[in-house]
Amino acid sequence: MKHLKPIYIFLILIIGLLLILFGRTFGVLFIAANLVFILTIVFLKNRYRATFKKRLNYASKFLIAVYSLFLLSFIAVEGFIFYELEKSKDVDGAEFDVMIILGAGLKGDIPSKTLISRLEAGKAILLDNKELPVVVSGGQGEGESIPEAEAMGIYLMKHGISEERIIYEDTSTTTYENLRNSKNILLQKGLKDPNVLIVTSDYHVVRAKMLADELHLHNKGLGGNSPFFVKVNYFIREYFAIVKTVVERVL
């Protein structure tokens, strides 16, 4: 056991440093939980091997098998997220009937950095496709002085998108509501089966597309670029969100 103590101390220091530098973010807690899980298995095997050798052998094999399945599923989901993100970089705005930009929070009436990254990604396509209409989707949440849709419309108009092209959906509070409410507005405007470009954050493309598929929207995704540490944190979080979505579909 003595030769393992420095490893425990080192890993505890790493966890502490991550918490100090980045706070209790989802990514840091995920890394910490994995390290604690591995250390627990190693500790139990070494501490109680002599007393409960046979039972510990079965238990550790079971835990390792479960953990291995988790890691494989994590790698598969994250790989799929990256694949869809790379594929989204090749979208051609000319093939779509409408764009939907998903809201992502305001500070008062100022778009968050995440929302700006989505608006910038959408703006680039809109400037190259002058006839493409856009739905800006997002209601008013806590700490927001106006609906997200209104702030998004203001931002786009300031950056060269004419007001006539902008359609407002200003009641939604979740991604599902963003897409459902936007679809209903498009139906009211006579767009019954449009080809939709969904603009969201890079880490969020897969889940947005999954929800759009549930709503029978023909869609492709486009991801706005997120800062590195934000991307790492939310890519990890999206694994659990996607698994939850898949489980809910099955059940």
> What secondary structure does DSSP assign to the chain, as a single string?
-GGGHHHHHHHHHHHHHHHHHH-S-HHHHHHHHHHHHHHHHHHHHHHSTTTSHHHHHHHHHHHHHHHHHHHHHHHHHHHHHHHHHHHHTT--GGG-SEEEEEP--EEBTEEPHHHHHHHHHHHHHHHH-TT--EEEE----TTBSS-HHHHHHHHHHHTT--GGGEEEE----SHHHHHHHHHHHHHHTT-SS-EEEEEEEGGGHHHHHHHHHHTT-EEEEEEEPPPHHHHHHHHHHHHHHHHHHHHHHH-
Predicted pLDDT at 90: 83
CATH class of domain segment(s) 91-250: alpha beta
Question: Would you list the domain boundaries of the chain?
Answer: 2-87, 91-250
Written as tens digits, the pLDDT of the chain (251 aa) is 445 566 666 767 777 776 666 666 766 777 777 777 777 766 666 665 555 555 656 767 777 788 889 889 999 999 999 888 888 888 899 999 999 999 998 999 999 999 999 999 999 999 999 999 999 999 998 889 999 999 999 999 999 999 999 999 999 999 999 999 999 999 999 998 999 999 999 999 999 999 999 999 999 999 999 887 788 888 888 998 898 888 877 76
Predicted pLDDT at 33: 77
